Amino acid sequence: MNKEYEIVIIGGGPAGLSAGLYTSRARLSTLLIERGLVGGLITETELVENYPGFPEGISGLELGELMHQQATKYGLETLLAEVTGLELQQGQKIIKTTEGNFTAKAVIIASGSERLKLGVPGEKEFTGKGVSYCATCDAAFFRELPIAVAGGGDVGITEALHLAKFASKVTVIELLPKLGASRILQERAAAEPKIEFRLNTRVEEIEGEEVVKRLKLRQVITGEKATLDVAAIFVSIGIKPNTDYLKGILSLDATGTIITNDKLETNIPGIFAAGDIRHNSVRQAIAAAGDGATAAIYAEKFITE
Ligand SMILES: Cc1cc2nc3c(=O)[nH]c(=O)nc-3n(C[C@H](O)[C@H](O)[C@H](O)COP(=O)(O)OP(=O)(O)OC[C@H]3O[C@@H](n4cnc5c(N)ncnc54)[C@H](O)[C@@H]3O)c2cc1C
In short, whether 16's Cβ falls inside 6 Å of ligand 1 is yes
The catalytic residues are: 134, 137-138
pLDDT at 129 over 70: yes
> What are the tens digits of pLDDT across the range 150-180?
999 998 999 999 999 999 999 999 999 999 9
Task: Please check the confidence at residue 282 and state whether its pLDDT lies above 90.
Answer: no
The closest residue, in CA terms, to atom 26 on ligand 1 is: 275
For 289-299, how does the pLDDT look when each residue is reduced to its tens digit (9 = 90+)?
999 999 999 99
Question: How remote is the C-alpha of 148 from its chain's centroid?
Answer: 21
Which of 42, 51, 138 most suits a substitution to test ligand 1, by most atoms within 8 Å of the C-beta?
Answer: 42
What pLDDT is stored for residue 121 in this prediction?
98
**Amino acid 134: pLDDT:** 85
- Residues of the chain with pLDDT > 90, as a percent, come to 86
Q: Tell me the per-residue pLDDT of 233-257, one tens digit each, with 9 for 90 and over.
A: 999 998 899 999 997 889 999 888 9
pLDDT digits over 191-228, tens only? 999 999 999 999 999 999 999 999 999 999 999 999 99
Average pLDDT of span 8-18: 98
What is the distance in A from the centroid of ligand 1 to the CA of 234?
A: 18
What separation in Å is there between the alpha carbon of 12 and the centre of ligand 1? 8
CA 40 – ligand 1 centroid, Å: 4
Core vs surface per residue 54-79: b (16+ CB within 10 A) or e = eeeebbbbebbbebbebbbeeebbbb
CA of 275 to the centre of ligand 1 (A): 8
Mean pLDDT computed over every residue of the chain: 95
Find out whether the beta carbon of 15 lies less than 6 Å from any atom of ligand 1. yes
83 lines ligand 1 (CB under 6 A): yes
